[in-house]
Amino acid sequence: MAGLSCRLVSSAYQPPLNVGHRNNAADAGAQARLRGNRLAASLSEKSSETSMHTPAFDRFVAPASRYPAIWRIFMGLITATIVFIALSFAIFFIGGLALGLESPQQALLILTDPTTPAAMAILLLSFLAMAMGAGAAALWHWRSPLTLFGPLPLVRRDWLKMAALAAVVLFCSGLITSFFIPSTVTRNLGVPAWAGILIWAIPLLFIQTTAEEMVFRGYLQQQLAARFRHPFIWMGIPSVLFGLAHLNPGLEPITAFLIVLATGTFGLVAADITRLTGSLGAAMGFHFANNFLAILVVSVQGELSALALFHTDFTMSDSDIIQPLLVVDILTVILVWVVARRMLRR
């Protein structure tokens, strides 16, 4: 190769022999440029494959790319935490006064473990503080909080598609599982009362699920993807944090681990469908469908069950039932992911 380069360089200083020679040289130069362009495109494709970025995801991440410094991400998370704690305490305090509770401490104890529809309403409303915290974090990067969602027409379309898909798969999975894992459910609310609750519970559930997606698949995933190319960072870290946020040390260790694994798996699937679609809509729809069934239709007894039409006759301490159900949950989430990848790919 070195000898060939020397010959090419030396030939550049020889006078042209004729017009045909000049044409041949021009053709050779054009071919060299074409080969270079193909090589650059190939390297770009390999880089894109390595990073797992899609064109839609690149557009989703673009607003986060203007100011992606690590210190801004840390400051954003600190700001989001402060806003969330301050506003949620304010919501709990005002809600406690509305419920006639005597002290903020009593309100905090009751509202973080709600057993009545009113207490559940206040708990779900407190996630508005999380959404506002995510919006405040975005300001550290000089971007609008609306950019956490992606293109709004895509958000609406992906939300509807994914909510419908997830609801069907999750419902069928629960129905089939009931034939193999012995468990029973009991009516918790009458249908008229439950229908009345849905009028305000559905918007509040939308706030709760949207707020969590704004933090984990919106702010965190976008900003980490703008700063780092490897998906282990921008998909893995938010998913691990999402799983750890659901850790319950009071449960049996295996049960607690399976809950973290199940929610972490959900987070990873939500991160991937966000990568594929380039909007937060699909993850929001999946999250909403999952929580609608788990909080408003059939809830585990004593676990945010005040709004559910039915509740189970077992509790989270019944590990012989809960642990197999958690494994089924993980497999069901993976099944939703497999189907969603085919349906949502752009």
The answer as to whether 41 is a domain residue is no
pLDDT at 37: 45
Beta-strand relationship, 185-187 and 310-312: antiparallel
Q: Look up residue 202 and give its amino acid.
A: I
13-to-3, 6, 27, 132 alpha-carbon distances in Å: 16, 12, 18, 68
The answer as to whether 234 is a domain residue is yes
Q: What residues in the chain have per-residue pLDDT under 50?
A: 1-26, 28-30, 32-50
pLDDT at 75: 98
Reported as type and span, the H/E element at residue 186 is strand 185-187
Q: What are 298's strand-pairing partners?
A: 310
pLDDT at 266: 98
The answer as to whether 36 is a domain residue is no
pLDDT at 51: 59
The answer as to whether 121 is a domain residue is yes
Domain encompassing residue 335 = 54-344
Please state, in angstroms and rounded to a whole number, the distance separating the CA atoms of residues 10 and 17.
15
The answer as to whether 260 is a domain residue is yes
Tokens coding 74: 């840390």
The answer as to whether 6 is a domain residue is no
The answer as to whether 40 is a domain residue is no
Q: Under a CB-based contact definition with an 8 Å cutoff, are residues 287 and 217 in contact?
A: no
pLDDT at 145: 96
pLDDT at 85: 94
Q: What does the pLDDT look like over 2-24, one tens digit per residue?
A: 443 333 333 333 444 444 444 44
Q: What does the pLDDT look like over 80-96, one tens digit per residue?
A: 999 999 999 899 888 88
Domain count, the chain: 1
The answer as to whether 61 is a domain residue is yes
Please state, in angstroms and rounded to a whole number, the distance separating the CA atoms of residues 98 and 344.
44
Nearest to 152 by CA among 280, 285, 287: 280
Reported as type and span, the H/E element at residue 159 is helix 152-177
pLDDT at 15: 41
